Chains A and B, each alone.
Chain A
């Protein structure tokens, strides 16, 4: 336990000091941390899933509070919670299917079961699953055999309940943790390979002699473009430099190193050039449930220009960037102001920037936000590691990754903090 505590504190510090750059790195590290937290969690005899959820949540809340703007942390915490619930559920159903016993999920559905003692375990499992999972075509189809099996199991399920339950416990306790860690490993794997999965789709979207515009730097975009280049597509890239961080210079350098025809333009020339561009491909910081994008600063301007000239605006985002929250006033609430020193020389304007002394309000404010909010109507397409999606479909995609309980809980706790 103490070493996880140290790990958590270390990670918290990094988050607070904004030492970790990029949502992918953050997501990966968060997942790894949570994995060790899970492995260190001592499992109680009953309600193991609840115990896991509790410990993950406790750490997750602190992580989210450390950097509420880095939505990837919250996403990963929710993903892990979802994994725990899913694993628990699958164990329960597996136990039921295998033993044909009442291996009811004893963690959360205790009350449920008490209220409906007449119902069979399978029915309860089905019910619990439908509460956990949002209704989808798949769950609906899965439910059919379960409900069909209800009369069958109800005839034989009642008597052997107490005995099999205790026998099952010990094996399940180890199995749950193991499965969860396995699944979290898979998640980590997903996060680290999401670039490749997205880049694989590049050839489907980039044609010969295409002109592509991007702003700032994103590793996903870089890999995407390079993947198309490797497939012998020749195209031209305009890179807007993305002031005040000028990450575009970095991207341009990477692209020319890989032999792509690259033109570096100023951010101000985006509107002038967009009429000659076939497609805008950008990375995102986070994708909200409504299909809106929290993106590097300046992209709203690019998206508006693209809309004006009917240029497709494509956002590349790994699934760890899908955030189940709906944004409210995201331009301000989900934004972060960076140091004015990136815009102005302190030496030159120090007299006007003096907030401490002097008379009343300072004359000069310097605004240097990090992110921009691009509303869903400006986005033509999302390309995630699961394929291309419309902005309007995002909520559904998100429902596959997160369980509804966690959204509510997280939101309450974050607002409490």
Chain B
């Protein structure tokens, strides 16, 4: 009996792992209480029985936390296979038995995070944890010895069938115990454990930072690794959960904050007060788009120029980029992003930390100021948002030990690396991929002017492929004319037409190549306005649509229409048609006429994913359904390196 107890005391080590300094006190209690308790364990199991569905992590969680798990799982498997050769790799009863122990580890964390994490999923989990801990303590015993395998079993294979598993669990948990402990004993043990848990919880609440748990959290790994091999398995388990949860938490944190809505009173007011530029009057604003900031045209350039010296805190390089955005000299997602990053780079080079401030914080706020200035000049594209996020995370992750100059050089090289890897090299990879889809005799259609598509066309031309390019253009941007000019200079044979004639030319087209400003994680392609129409007509004519987009432009937001989020262009650009003097119907309108007329110049639209055949990205050619996968993997890559 005592020996048994001793073996049962092994979990103590594990618990130490979870509650580092606080728990040791808790462990003796069950031992002392156990002998006195005599009630049958089965009385408790119904409760656990009914709850078992919730304590089993739903399969979604399993798959979601793949990253964390793959690290954790192999360890126990390898270390313990020798220990317990008889136990199969998959034993449902055991796995469930094991399951009841890790929740204990959860509780410690739970207490810390309960305030913050109030979502249903978490709530359920914490619940289950509490109840699970009230399972017969026999489970504990076994779990220490056996669960390594079951860890793997549960995670890899077993989104457990709930009810039957629970029953088995019941049986198995009682079976080994019956030999040595009475029901009462077990009940007592259990109660004592509950008490201990409550005590530890209270302690945790009091201290706020109980022991190892908080320290382990930011590291995303419990520090118990240093504990010896005997507890490796439990470490693995806890580790898994730790990673699980931290990943999940992080994901929650990463959830993009709601977009700033222009019509939001409080925020709008603040923005207006801070704004450098005059807000154009709200006349002739389309009602549907009042939530978007109105276009600021180049007429404000002189005004902004006059304010140059008042804006001394803006770095000149940033200022210059802002002016270029405003004037429309810089366009195209990549060009804008690179210009912005380079301006930031320059600003960082010239930066010096003011006294009694830390570089990390001050620089972040400084960058924030730059960004809000740029937003005022022109709303950011998704890709720029991603780049800024990258930069900010790099700043936040700067080791405190670095000196200022070191930090600055690190950041500058980080920016360089971002531009190089995520844009320049990514484009090269995209070229390679996309060129394989161009064959001799093809008629390729492209819309607007995408620099990636242009590079693809030129690259394929250099490879000696014989094809024809249909450049489709639309008023008022007429970017296609510039693209057409550049293609003609390189000797490509082209057809030029306007968007309206798309159905006429689509008969002969064999591929459609489109660029994108961003791709959302529901597969929606956010691109120059008109792209959706092109993709739709191509889809109607059964022509494959290839969207070429660097992965850094992917965004985890989702969008269904082109109205909730968009950018407004200059409304007056619509009424003017360059090179057409005969089109002047809207020149001399009376005030009454102007009152009723709204001009809408949208910049972007959202193409539904069903029109997209393939997305060519630096990770290869993927279907639109795989975008969220890339988004996830990509975020990890550039935030966690």
Return the chain B residue nearest A360 by Cβ.
B493
Q: Tell whether A343 is near chain B: CB-to-CB under 8 Å.
A: yes
Q: CB-CB contacts of A284-301 with B at 8 A, as 1s and 0s?
A: 000000000000011011
Q: CB-CB contacts of B587-619 with A at 8 A, as 1s and 0s?
A: 001000111111111100110100000000000
Q: Once the chains bind, are A243 and B602 in contact (CB under 8 Å)?
A: no
Chain B residues numbered 472-497 whose CB sits less than 8 Å from any CB in chain A:
473-476, 481, 484-485, 488, 491-497
Residues on A with C-beta less than 8 A from B596 are: 255-256, 259-262
B40 to chain A, nearest CB (A): 63
Q: Tell whether A352 is near chain B: CB-to-CB under 8 Å.
A: yes
Known interface pairs A263-B599, A342-B580, A363-B492; A269-B605 also in contact (CB < 8 Å):
yes
Interface-facing stretch out of A126-134, A245-253, A384-392: A245-253
Q: Once the chains bind, are A243 and B496 in contact (CB under 8 Å)?
A: no
Return the chain B residue nearest A242 by Cβ.
B500
Interface-facing stretch out of A24-32, A35-43, A113-121, A366-374: A366-374
Q: Once the chains bind, are A266 and B503 in contact (CB under 8 Å)?
A: no
Residues on A with C-beta less than 8 A from B594 are: 256
Q: Once the chains bind, are B583 and A266 in contact (CB under 8 Å)?
A: no
Q: CB-CB contacts of B130-151 with A at 8 A, as 1s and 0s?
A: 0000000000000000000000
Of B286, B485, B574, the contact of A266 (CB 8 Å cutoff): B574
How far, in angstroms, from A265 to B562 measured CA to CA in the complex?
14
Interface size of B as a range = 35 or more
Of B288, B536, B540, B598, the contact of A276 (CB 8 Å cutoff): B288
B369 to chain A, nearest CB (A): 33
How far, in angstroms, from A156 to B608 measured CA to CA in the complex?
77
Residues on A with C-beta less than 8 A from B641 are: none
Of B496, B530, B595, B598, the contact of A263 (CB 8 Å cutoff): B598
A373 to chain B, nearest CB (A): 8
Return the chain A residue nearest B536 by Cβ.
A304
B389 to chain A, nearest CB (A): 27
Known interface pairs A243-B474, A249-B586; A331-B504 also in contact (CB < 8 Å):
yes
Q: Once the chains bind, are A263 and B286 in contact (CB under 8 Å)?
A: yes
Known interface pairs A263-B600, A301-B536; A275-B563 also in contact (CB < 8 Å):
yes
Known interface pairs A252-B597, A308-B536, A344-B481; A365-B495 also in contact (CB < 8 Å):
yes
Q: Once the chains bind, are A265 and B586 in contact (CB under 8 Å)?
A: no
Q: Once the chains bind, are A266 and B476 in contact (CB under 8 Å)?
A: yes
How far, in angstroms, from A163 to B267 measured CA to CA in the complex?
99
How far, in angstroms, from A368 to B502 measured CA to CA in the complex?
10
Residues on B with C-beta less than 8 A from A264 are: 574-575, 586, 597-600
Residues on B with C-beta less than 8 A from A342 are: 580
Q: Tell whether B510 is near chain A: CB-to-CB under 8 Å.
A: no
Q: Which of A242, A249, A266, A348 has the most CB of B within 10 A?
A: A266
Chain A residues numbered 112-156 whose CB sits less than 8 Å from any CB in chain B:
none
Q: Which of A252, A268, A272, A373 has the most CB of B within 10 A?
A: A268
Return the chain A residue nearest B611 by Cβ.
A308
Q: CB-CB contacts of B560-598 with A at 8 A, as 1s and 0s?
A: 011100100000001101011001011001000111111
Q: Tell whether A271 is near chain B: CB-to-CB under 8 Å.
A: yes
Residues on A with C-beta less than 8 A from B288 are: 276
Q: Once the chains bind, are A331 and B530 in contact (CB under 8 Å)?
A: no
Q: Once the chains bind, are A272 and B492 in contact (CB under 8 Å)?
A: no
Q: Tell whether B532 is near chain A: CB-to-CB under 8 Å.
A: yes
How far, in angstroms, from A364 to B562 measured CA to CA in the complex?
33
Q: Once the chains bind, are B540 and A304 in contact (CB under 8 Å)?
A: yes
Known interface pairs A250-B585, A272-B561, A275-B563; A301-B503 also in contact (CB < 8 Å):
yes
Given A263-B599, A297-B500, A331-B503; 4 other pairs, CB 8 A cutoff: A261-B596, A264-B598, A271-B530, A366-B495
B-side interface residues toward A, CB under 8 Å? 286, 288, 473-476, 481, 484-485, 488, 491-505, 507, 528-530, 532-533, 536-537, 540, 561-563, 566, 574-575, 577, 579-580, 583, 585-586, 589, 593-602, 605-606, 608
* 7 residue pairs from A and B, CB less than 8 Å apart: A243-B475, A264-B597, A267-B499, A272-B532, A272-B561, A342-B580, A348-B481
The 3 tightest CB contacts between A and B, nearest first, are: A268-B530, A298-B500, A272-B562
